[in-house]
Structure 1
Amino acid sequence: MSAAGPTGSVAGPASGSPSSAWATMAELGKAVKKGGGRGLALVGAGAVAGSVAMAVARYQAAKVDRSLPSEFVLELPLDRLHVVDAVDTSPLALLRGDTNQVELPKAVAALRRAAADPRCRGVVAYLGGRENLGGLATVQELREAICGFRAAVAAAVTASGRPPARTAAWAASFGEAGGSGMGAFLLASACEGVHMQPSGLLGLSGLESRAFFVRGLLDRIAAEPEFFAREEFKSAANTLTERGFTAAQRENLGALVGDMAEQMLTCMAGGRGVELAALREAVAAGPLLPGPALARRLLDGTAYRDEVQAAFAASEQALKEEKARQGRRHRRRKEDTRMARVPLDRYIRATELQAAAGAWRGHPAGWLAGTPLEPLALALRGRLQDGVAAQRSPVGPLENRLAVAGQPKVAVVTLAGTIVQGPVQPGPQQQGQSIDASKVVGQLATLLEDPDVKAVVLRINSPGGSALASDSIHHEVTRLRAAGKPVVVSMGDVAASGGYYIAAGADRVVAQPGTLTGSIGVIAGKVNVGRTLESVGVNTDAVATAPNADLLSPFSSLRPEQRAQVEAMVDSVYDDFLGKVARGRNRPLSEVRQLAKGRVYTGRQAHELGLVDELGGLDAAVRSAKQLARLPEDAAVVEHPPRRIPFLVQLLRRQAMGGGEGGGEGGAGGASLGRELLGAAASAVVAGSGAGAGMGLGAGAGGVQGMAAALAGALAAGGPQARAAALQASQAVQLLSSGEPQMYSMEAAMLASV
C-alpha cells in the first residue's frame, strides 16, 4: 500500500469500488456466522457504541472547525503555557498546578500548519518567566519554527497570493523578579516586532549558574557523605561532599555558560539587525530600561498587551461574520476592531481533530463511513486501534494522519525525566517526570515486533539517572538496530550521562546547539547518618547474615574492604559505559576516555567533537530516520504509545485556558500552592527537635530523602534561580541516596533552564 498523500489520506481501492465492498461484506459474513447469536449481539453492541463514538468525534471536529474564524491571529501565550517535551499527567503535576502545558513537537507542527493556513494573518508571542520556556534547546527549536513560519508565509504570498502574516513578540518585562530575560528575548528576536510594557525591564544581563552545597550542614548534624565518582568532572555528589565548586566543576560550567551565551547573543544580534559588539555592550550595561533599549534598537516600541493586539485589525467582512455567527452572544464593542485571536493550544486541538476525522475519508472501507458497520469493518481489517488513536490524539509530531496497518511508518518515542528502574510512587519528594525503564523496554519491544515500523526516533530529554535502567533501554536500542530498524536520537534540552548512554547506541544523534549532553561518567555512594541519630539519642543495632549486608546501609560507615568493593563496582560500570560509547560512535576507546571524565558539553561542542552527528530538532531527526530506512518523505510518523491525557487534567487545562488573558494567573497560583505544600512537608520533617535533628531523622527513615524535601521546601520562596538550584540539589540527593551506581549530570540539570 502506498504512503499517505499531503492531505493524510491513504491510497488504495476507491472507496466505493465493488471489490472493496465485496471483500468487506465477506469478512462481515464470516464473523457473524462464526460467532452465532451471542456473537451477533456483541457485534451489534460494539458497532453501535463505535458509531456513537465516531459521531461524537466528528461532531466535535466540525464544531471546532466552525469555531475558527475566517481570519485570526495565532497567539503563543508562553506567559501561561509551559513548553515541555511530554505533558506531565502525574497527580503531583496537578498539585503543583502544572496543567497549562503544551508539547514542543505539537507547537512546532502547529506553526507549520498555520503558515499554510490562509486564515492565519499573524503570530503574536506573549512571553513571561523563563520557567515556561524550558531550556536553551527548546527556545532554539521554537525560534526555528517562528523563522520557518515567516519564510513559508513570504514564499506563499509570492507564489499563490496568500494573505500576508506578521509576527510580533510582547512581554510585560523581560526578566522581572530576579529571572533572566535572555531566553525570552532570544525567542522574541525571531519576530518582526518586539514590544515591552512601558514599565518593564529588558533583563539582558548575561547568564549565571548557581549551585547549593550542603556539606557544612551535614557536618553540623554529624552526617558523613561517602561517594566515588568517575572522573573529576562527574560532580553530582559535590552538593553533598563540597562547600563550593571544585576547579574541574568551575572549568566545565564556565565553558558551558560561555558557549550558551555566545549562541544566544549571536542569534539575538542577527534577529535584531544589530552589531554583535553593540549587543555585548548592552548586556554589560543590563538590565536596561525601555529608553536605552529603544535607543539601542533592541525594542521596536513600548505598548500594553491590548495595544499590540489592536495592531492586528480585523476586516469589516470578518467582523460581520463574527456577529452573524455569535448572534445574541455577540458582545464586541463597536470601537473594538481587533482581529480574532486563537490561542496555540486551541489551534492545536482544532487542527488535530480535523486531521483525525479527515483521515477516515480515504479509507478503503470509506463506503461504510457514517454507518453502524464502519467500526466493525475497521476492526476486522485490523485497523480500529490506529483509528481510535487518531481520533483521541495526534498520530505524529509532524503529520496528523491515519497510520493504517501495512503502511511503513516511523515511530517517535519520547523519554522525558530522570531514568529509573520501575515506576516511581508520586509524592512531595518527587521532582519532575521520570523515565520508567521497564515500561520503555516494553514499548521498544512492541516496535521491534511491529512489521510496519521501519524506523524509530527517540526524543530524549533527561539528565540521566540509574545506570541499570539506562543499560536496559540501551540494550533495546541495539536490538532494534540488529533487526534492521534504524534508530535516531533527537536530544531536547538535556540528554546527558544516562541520557547519552542511551543515545550512544543509536544509528544517528541529532541535537540542538544549546542541548546539554555528554557527562560520560558514573557515581555511587551513600550518606551515613548513624552518628546523626546518636546525637539526638537514637541508637541503631542490626543482625546480619553476611559481611556486606550493611554495604548500602545509611547507618554505618564503609569499611576499607567495602570501599574497595564499591570502587571496583564503579570502575566496572564506567568501563562498560566507555566501551558502549566507543562501539556506538565507532571511535577508539582511548579517544572516548579523553572526551569522557564526566564532562558536560553543549550540542555545538559535542558536534565538533563527534559525539553528535547533526545539529537540529525533531524534524531533522525524523527526516534522518526516513532516509536511513529508505522511506519516502511523506511516510507516516506515529507517536508511540499515543499519550492519553486524563480527564481531570484536560478539565483543569480547559478551565485555565477559559480564563483568557487572566489564564496565566491561575497557573501561577497553582504553582504557588504546590510550593507551599512542599514547604509544609519540609516543615513537618524539621519540626520537633530542631532543623538538624529533623533532617537527620528524615534521612534515617528513607536514605536522605527527608533532607531532600526539606532542602526543596526551605528554598522554595527564594526566587526562580534559588528555587531551580534547590530542586536540582534535592533531585541529586534523592538519586544518590539509593546507593546504586548513577549516571546523572548535575551541571546539565542545573543549566536546563536558560
Structure 2
Amino acid sequence: MKRFLIGALAFIGAMSVLFVVGLVALVVLASSSRPSVPSNLVLELDLSQPLAENVSADSLAGAFGEDPLTVRDVVDALEKAGEDSRVKSLVVRVGTSPGSPATTQEVRDAVKAFRAKGKKAIAYTDSFGEEGNATGAYYFASAFDEIYMQPSGSVNVIGLAFETPFARDALAKLGVKPRFDKRYEFKNAVNSYTEQGYTPEHLLATERFAGSLYGQMVRGIAEGRGLKEEEVRALIDRAPLLAPEAVDGKLLNGLLYRDEVYAAQKAAAGEGAELLYVKKYLDRVGRPNTTGDTIALVHGVGTISRGRSDSSPFGEQALGGDSVAAALRKAAQDSQVKAIIFRVDSPGGSYVASDTVRREVQRAREAGKPVIATMGTYAASGGYYFAMDADKIVAQPGTLTGSIGVYTGKFVTNGFWEKLGVNFDTVAFGKNATLASTDADYTPEQQARVDAELDRIYTDFTTRAASARKMPVEKLQGLAKGRVWTGEDALENGLVDALGGYPKALELAREAAKLPADAKVRVEEYPRKKSPAEVLSSMLGETGDNSDDDASATTSLSTPWAPLVEATRVVHEVGVRMGVFAPERGSLHAPMPQTRW
C-alpha cells in the first residue's frame, strides 16, 4: 500500500510538471508566431469598455488571451498607423468613452494626430446612451471625421454631473462618530463622512472643477463638429436628442447600421481591403520609438501604499512605494537611459510611500537623468507629491491634480457596539497607546499629537511644492489647502508646465536630454514586462534575488485566492468611501467623486 501511494504521488507530481512545461511551451509558441499585416487595411477599435491605464509587469492575462487594451496601446498604434501606407482609415465602435475625461482627451488627441497624417477616422455607435449619460462618449466621437449612429439610437449628450455621497447622519444613526482632521478647508476627501452636504469650500472647488471640464467638452465638440459653442450648449440643454434631431443639429453625419458603415469604409479603402483590430495591428507591427537613445518609461498607477506593489497575475494592481522607487532607481542607474518619463495616475495615499517615490525622482535628477512627469486621470495629493519634483509636468486639461493637503482620523464606534450589546475593555501601557483605537475619542494629549503630525506633513508638502514649482510659499499655499484643480487650471496656476499626454512628454524628454526634436529614441518600460512564462515561474516559487535595486522582483503576486481578495478589496473601497473603514493615518488622498458624463 505504501509503495502504491508513493507511486501515485510520483505520477501526480510528474503529470503536474508536464502540465506546467506544456503550458509554458504553448505560451512561448503562441508569442513567437506573428501573422503578417494585410497590404490594404482598415483599423478597427471596439470601445465597449473603458481602456486600462496600464497592465502590470506581472500580469498573466496574455497567457490566456490578449492583455487588456491600454491607453498607451491605442496612442502607439495610431502613431504607427499614421505613417503606415497600408492603413487607409480607422473605424471605432463607440460603446463608451475611453475612460475618464483625461483618458478621453489623450485618445482624442491620438485620433486627431492620426487624421493630421491624411488618414480618415470614422466613429460608429448603435446609440449614444440609451437611458444613461453618453456625453463623454460623444465628446470622444467628435474628434472623428464622421459620426454615424443606428437609426433606432438616441444622442444623450445631457451634460456633466458630479455626485458625492454624504453619510454623516447615517453614521450617527449607527452610533459611529467620524473623527477626522485635515489641512485645510478644501481637503474634501473626508467630507463624505463628516458632512451631510457640500461645505462652501467643497462646493466652490467642485463647481470650478466641473465647470472647467464642461467648458473643455463644449469647446471640443464645437471644434470637431464645426459648430459655435452656444449652439453646442443649446443642443446639450435639449438632449436627449432623437436621431433625426441629432442629424439636424449636425451632431451626426447620418443614420447607418454597422454593416453599412463597415462596408462603406472597406469600399473606400479599395479592392481587397481587410479589417484589423488595433491591438492585433500593434502586436504585429510593434510599437513606435524602438530604436535610438533610450528614454525610460516608469508607471506610478493606483492608490499609494508602503512596501511593494500588489498585483494579481491578471492585471489588478496597487501602487507600492518600494516598487515604483526601485523602477526609478533602475532607470536612473542605466547608463543607456537619457531621460525618464514618469507616468502618474494616482489619487494619492500614504504620505511616507509618496515621499519614498519622490526621493527617487529627486535622486534621478541629481544623477543627471531628467524626469518628465505625465499625468493621467489624476495625479492628486500623494500623486502630485511625487510628481512635483520632476523637471517638467504634463497634464491633460481634464486631469484631476493638486489636492495639496493631508487628512487623518478614525471612526469612533463604541456607540455602535453598545447598540449591539458589545463592550470593549482595554488594558494599555503608554499614554497614547489607544491613539488609533476606534473604541474611544482622542484625549486632549492625543489630539495635540494628531495636530502636530498634520501640521508637519502639510508644511513639508507645501514647502517642497513651492520649491519644486519655483514660487513663493505664500502663493503656493493659496493654491493648496487640499484643493483639486483640472489640468487646465493647474497650468494657469503654475502647478503643471504643459498640456498633453505621452507624445508631449516624449517631446519634453528629448528636449531635456538635449536630443534633436526629431531624434529617434527607444522607449523602454521599467520594470520590463515579464513574459507569461516568467510570470508562471514566479507563481511556482521563483521570486528573484530580493535585491532592493531589483525592480523586476518588487511586485508581489497574489495567490490562487486572487478573485476573493479582489472582491474583498472592492467591498473595502466602498466601505472607505461610506465611512465603514478608516483610511490610513497621514493620508495624502483625493478620491474622485462619481462623475456622470
Query: Fold match, TM over 0.5?
Result: yes
Aligned residues of 1:85 and 1:414 also touching (Cα < 8 A): no
Q: 1: CA distance between counterparts of 2:302 and 2:531? A: 17
Partner residue, 2:175: 222
Q: 2: CA distance between counterparts of 1:540 and 1:277? A: 62
Q: 1: CA distance between counterparts of 2:135 and 2:294? A: 39
Aligned residues of 1:417 and 1:432 also touching (Cα < 8 A): no
Partner residue, 2:307: 422
Q: Residues 456-467 of structure 1: matches in 2 within 5 Å? A: 456-467=340-351
Identity %: 36
Higher strand proportion (structure 1 or 2): 2
Q: CA deviation at 1:732?
A: 7.7
Q: 2: CA distance between counterparts of 1:88 and 1:426? A: 7
Partner residue, 1:105: 72
Gaps (5+ residues) in structure 1?
Answer: 1-51, 154-164, 320-338, 353-393, 402-406, 651-675, 683-704, 713-726
Q: 2: CA distance between counterparts of 1:739 and 1:54? A: 40
SS at match of 1:313: helix
SS at match of 1:69: coil
TM-score, normalising length: structure 2: 0.84
Match of 1:544 among 428, 442, 451: 428
Partner residue, 1:596: 480
Match of 2:52 among 56, 64, 84: 84
1:244–1:424 distance in 2 versus 1, CA, 3 Å: farther
Match of 1:276 among 229, 236, 252: 229
Q: CA deviation at 1:216?
A: 1.9
Structure 2 residue identity aligned to 1:74: L
Residue 143 of structure 2 is aligned to residue 143 of structure 1: no
Higher helix proportion (structure 1 or 2): 1
Partner residue, 1:351: 285
1:732–1:614 distance in 2 versus 1, CA, 3 Å: farther
Partner residue, 1:173: 127
Q: CA deviation at 1:200?
A: 1.2
Structure 1 residue identity aligned to 2:297: V
Q: 2: CA distance between counterparts of 1:678 and 1:210? A: 28
Partner residue, 2:493: 609
Aligned residues of 1:74 and 1:122 also touching (Cα < 8 A): yes
Partner residue, 2:21: none
Q: 1: CA distance between counterparts of 2:147 and 2:385? A: 41
Match of 2:33 among 57, 60, 63: 60
Q: 2: CA distance between counterparts of 1:93 and 1:733? A: 34
Q: CA deviation at 1:252?
A: 0.6
Residue 346 of structure 2 is aligned to residue 412 of structure 1: no
Q: 2: CA distance between counterparts of 1:166 and 1:435? A: 38
Q: Residues 395-474 of structure 1: matches in 2 within 5 Å? A: 398-401=288-291, 408-423=293-308, 433-474=317-358
Q: 1: CA distance between counterparts of 2:356 and 2:184? A: 23
Partner residue, 1:638: 524
1:222–1:543 distance in 2 versus 1, CA, 3 Å: same
What does the per-residue CA deviation read over 1:248-299, in whole Å, with 9 as the maximum and x for residues that have no partner? 1111110011110111111111111112111111011111110111111110
Q: 1: CA distance between counterparts of 2:584 and 2:108? A: 41
Q: CA deviation at 1:648?
A: 13
Q: 2: CA distance between counterparts of 1:128 and 1:90? A: 29
Match of 1:295 among 233, 236, 248: 248
Partner residue, 1:619: 503
Aligned residues of 2:371 and 2:391 also touching (Cα < 8 A): yes
Residue 577 of structure 2 is aligned to residue 741 of structure 1: no
Aligned residues of 2:60 and 2:532 also touching (Cα < 8 A): no
1:54–1:630 distance in 2 versus 1, CA, 3 Å: farther
Aligned residues of 1:205 and 1:286 also touching (Cα < 8 A): yes
Q: CA deviation at 1:642?
A: 2.0
Residue 44 of structure 2 is aligned to residue 75 of structure 1: yes
Gaps (5+ residues) in structure 2?
Answer: 1-24, 537-562
SS at match of 1:216: helix
1:437–1:605 distance in 2 versus 1, CA, 3 Å: same
1:739–1:271 distance in 2 versus 1, CA, 3 Å: closer
Q: Residues 667-706 of structure 1: matches in 2 within 5 Å? A: none
Aligned Cα RMSD in Å?
3.2
1:222–1:647 distance in 2 versus 1, CA, 3 Å: farther
User: What is the count of residue pairs matched by the alignment?
Assistant: 542
Q: 2: CA distance between counterparts of 1:98 and 1:537? A: 52
1:91–1:627 distance in 2 versus 1, CA, 3 Å: closer
Aligned residues of 2:405 and 2:481 also touching (Cα < 8 A): yes
What does the per-residue CA deviation read over 1:68-106, in whole Å, with 9 as the maximum and x for residues that have no partner? 3221210111124x3122025889999xx9987212122
TM-score, normalising length: structure 1: 0.67
Q: 2: CA distance between counterparts of 1:289 and 1:490? A: 39
Greater CA radius of gyration, 1 or 2?
A: 1
Q: CA deviation at 1:195?
A: 0.8
Q: CA deviation at 1:553?
A: 1.4
Structure 2 residue identity aligned to 1:636: R
Q: 1: CA distance between counterparts of 2:422 and 2:41? A: 67
Q: CA deviation at 1:58?
A: 9.2
1:535–1:571 distance in 2 versus 1, CA, 3 Å: same
Aligned residues of 1:412 and 1:458 also touching (Cα < 8 A): yes
Q: CA deviation at 1:636?
A: 2.1
Aligned residues of 1:99 and 1:649 also touching (Cα < 8 A): no
Which stretch shows the higher mean deviation, 283-292 or 641-650? 641-650
Q: 1: CA distance between counterparts of 2:521 and 2:27? A: 26
Residue 593 of structure 2 is aligned to residue 750 of structure 1: yes
Aligned residues of 1:209 and 1:751 also touching (Cα < 8 A): yes
